[in-house]
């Protein structure tokens, strides 16, 4: 029996959270292990920022628990010993689903380290079922390799993704677009999938949607844009804007599209980093927004102003977006929300 048969659905991220889950970084799996301490400081700042709004559960490899116990004094922050290979919980954690009776369950997707890009993902592939077991929640095992960063939902039946990621042969080579769509409908209780083309240039996740576009509310989409025709993101974002301009959501509404200007390009070791304001994270009463400083000061201010105007009831809490971006992601990539339910 599928979650949709039992009336489970994936809530929108802005729905109230019970708590946030996040994993502590693992030096052995980092792209730049020499930056381990700096990355740990970046995660500490993210965790403390989220803890200002809601409870946080930090997954920590059991041998490191004692080392972390003195780092967080906020009662909102707890440690959960759970073995993992890497720290991107958005992608290897469970997707929580709820029903109208106030029950909560979780989907356990298969995880293969973004198409087999990094070895040793066996522990990460067990993270979701272990979290659900710890919480005493019903698991639904989905026959699909999927990362949480590759999808956004509006809570009213519409899902946003990219063909570059979900149709990549390094994920589910034996499944067609139609078959993937049907599985998403059965497991998330959505009614329509909107397929954008590609994600941002240089994104080693093969175009996760959480770097390029997201729902701000039903019928309203934020999208990061580029106005420089010489930048590869210009064509990518123009194509995605064109898709959204002719699409409607699951309820037949045309979209209000709100652009956010991308920050200036930054390169490390000759490789472009995937800087995105759209990798923000909703928390109870706020938004955790990565900003990048330096040459990005102007676009930082524009992003803050845009989000403040769209979400006047939420406090925009900025964090240093450069702190962990060298490892490939940002605040949204590190987090997984557990929705609150009323019993």
DSSP per-residue letters across 112-156: -HHHHTSS--TTGGGHHHHHHHHHT-EEEEEEEE--GGG-EE-SS
- Torsion sign over Cα 185, 188, 189, 193: negative
Let me know the angle formed at the C-alpha of 295 by 272 and 287, rounded to the nearest 5 degrees: 85
The catalytic position among 40, 165, 214, 333 is 333
* Cβ contacts of 32 within 8 Å, gap of 6 or more: 326, 327
- With 0-12 / 13-18 / 19 or more C-beta atoms within 10 angstroms meaning exposed / middle / buried, residue 219 is middle
In the annotation, is 333 catalytic? yes
Q: Can you tell me the distance from the alpha carbon of 78 to that of 144, in angstroms, rounded to the nearest whole number?
A: 31
Catalytically annotated residues: 333
């Amino acid at each position: 029996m599928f979650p949709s048969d039992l009336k489970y659905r994936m809530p929108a991220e802005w729905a109230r959270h019970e708590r946030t889950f996040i994993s502590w970084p693992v030096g052995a799996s980092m792209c730049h292990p020499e930056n381990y301490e700096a990355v740990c400081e970046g995660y500490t700042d993210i965790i403390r920022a989220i803890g200002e709004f809601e409870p946080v559960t930090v997954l920590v490899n059991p041998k490191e628990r004692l080392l972390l116990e003195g780092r967080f004094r906020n009662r909102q922050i707890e440690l959960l010993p759970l073995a993992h290979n890497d720290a991107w919980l958005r992608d290897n954690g469970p997707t929580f689903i709820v029903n109208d009776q106030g029950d909560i369950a979780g989907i356990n997707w298969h995880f293969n380290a973004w198409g087999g890009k990094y070895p040793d993902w066996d522990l990460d592939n067990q993270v979701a079922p272990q979290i659900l077991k710890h919480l005493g929640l019903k698991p639904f095992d989905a026959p699909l390799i999927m990362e949480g960063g590759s999808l956004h939902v509006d809570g009213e039946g519409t899902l946003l993704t990219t063909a570059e990621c979900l149709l990549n042969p390094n994920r589910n080579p034996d499944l067609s677009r139609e078959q993937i769509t049907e599985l998403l409908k059965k497991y998330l209780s959505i009614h329509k999938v909107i397929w954008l083309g590609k994600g941002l240039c240089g994104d080693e996740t093969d175009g996760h949607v959480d770097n390029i576009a997201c729902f701000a509310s039903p019928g309203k989409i934020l999208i990061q844009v580029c106005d420089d025709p010489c930048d590869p993101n210009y064509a990518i974002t123009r194509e995605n804007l064109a898709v959204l301009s002719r699409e409607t959501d699951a309820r037949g509404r045309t979209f209000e599209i709100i652009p956010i200007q991308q920050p200036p390009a930054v390169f490390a070791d000759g490789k472009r980093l995937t800087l995105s304001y759209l990798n923000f994270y909703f928390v109870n009463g706020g938004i955790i927004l990565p900003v990048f400083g330096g040459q990005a000061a102007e676009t930082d201010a524009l992003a803050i102003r845009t989000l403040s105007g769209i979400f006047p009831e939420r406090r925009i809490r900025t964090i240093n977006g450069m702190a962990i971006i060298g490892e490939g992601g940002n605040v949204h990539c590190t987090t997984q929300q557990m929705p609150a339910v009323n019993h």
